[in-house]
Amino acid sequence: MDKNIADAINALGRFCGLRDIDHLNRGSLLEKYGFDQADVFVLFGGSVLAGGDVLAQAIHDQVAKAYVIVGGAGHTTDSLRQTVHREYPEIKTDGLPEAEIFQRYLKEVYSCEADYLESCSTNCGNNITFLLDLLRMNHVKHSSMILCQDATMQRRMDAGLRKYASEDQLIINYASYQASVECVHGRLMISGNIHGMWTVDRYVNLLMGEIPRLQDDEQGYGPKGKGFISHVDIPDTVYDAFVQLKTVYGDEIRAANPLYAT
């Protein structure tokens, strides 16, 4: 392992971990968008625990008028259950959907809670469609929405919502963390202290799985492929980093699990 591999991982991480504002607070919203409170803040359950911390801070700072947690059971759920129960044994997570796990985490650690839970979705596609159904059923205005997802999947979540969003709907992305991988004494390490962070190998596996999904071709999720998301432009530098990583990691790319298909 060397610095070039770390740089390639970070190129994918920056691209996938989309953040439209540097800081999630009312001042940043006002400066960029002309309002200091979005209609809705949404945390998607695929995130590591850092996403729960971001949501708690968002509720404390009142960056939105309504707060939603979305997530049933998917490919990241068992990891979330184990992490939460290991760190907070008083929180029972067996059999719980991601939305309920994060809600219990908020109540136990921060003494706050989201307004709405969507706990039936199983993948990024129905994360979005079930979310929109929930907002409509509860007559929640959502002209402006802050989306918070695990950094590996933030870009795809944005593209998933854009498939259904109206032209005047404002989507604000704020990935739940920003990771930086470094090569230290020949080993790859994630710098900083990201709550509940993946291992390096799992992080790379998730990132590499995103590029084929984001591609707008017959195999991808864009309009020319499966049609799950809107078109995404992948810069040459990002695709080159992906190809470089394949020389080290081969085809160890996370495949879609049919158990969680829509």
Q: Cα–Cα distance between 18 and 143 in angstroms, integer?
A: 20
Domain spans of the chain?
Answer: 3-15+179-260, 17-173
What are the DSSP calls for 67-128, one per residue?
A: EEEE--S-TTHHHHHHHHHHH-TTS--TT--HHHHHHHHIIIIIS---SEEE----SHHHHH
254: pLDDT confidence band, cut at 50, 70 and 90? low
pLDDT of residue 73 exceeding 90, the answer is no
Contact 216, 224 (CB under 8 A): yes
pLDDT of residue 260 exceeding 50, the answer is no
- For 133-182, how does the pLDDT look when each residue is reduced to its tens digit (9 = 90+)? 999 999 999 999 999 999 999 999 999 999 999 889 999 999 999 999 99
DSSP three-state, residue 35: coil
Sign of the CA dihedral running 103, 131, 11, 19: negative
pLDDT of residue 183: 93
pLDDT of residue 253: 61
DSSP three-state, residue 179: coil
What integer is the mean pLDDT of 16-28?
98
Whole-Å CA distances, 138 to 66, 97, 124, 164, 240? 11, 21, 21, 18, 44
23: pLDDT confidence band, cut at 50, 70 and 90? very high
Q: Look over the chain and give the mean of its residue pLDDT values, rounded to a whole number.
A: 93
pLDDT of residue 160: 97
Q: Cα–Cα distance between 80 and 48 in angstroms, integer?
A: 7
What integer is the mean pLDDT of 98-102?
96
DSSP three-state, residue 25: coil
pLDDT of residue 259: 40
- For 179-233, how does the pLDDT look when each residue is reduced to its tens digit (9 = 90+)? 999 999 989 999 989 999 999 999 999 999 999 999 999 999 999 999 999 999 9
pLDDT of residue 14: 98
- The model's pTM is 0.93
pLDDT of residue 30 exceeding 80, the answer is yes
DSSP character at residue 183: E
Domain range 17-173, its CATH number among 2.60.40.10, 1.10.3720.10, 3.40.50.620, 3.20.20.220: 3.40.50.620
Helix axes 98-105, 50-61, angle to 10 degrees: 60
What integer is the mean pLDDT of 90-108?
95
pLDDT of residue 250: 83
Domain range 3-15+179-260, its CATH number among 1.20.140.10, 3.40.50.300, 3.90.1150.10, 1.10.3620.10: 1.10.3620.10
The first and second tokens of residue 170, run together, are 């404002």
pLDDT of residue 261: 42
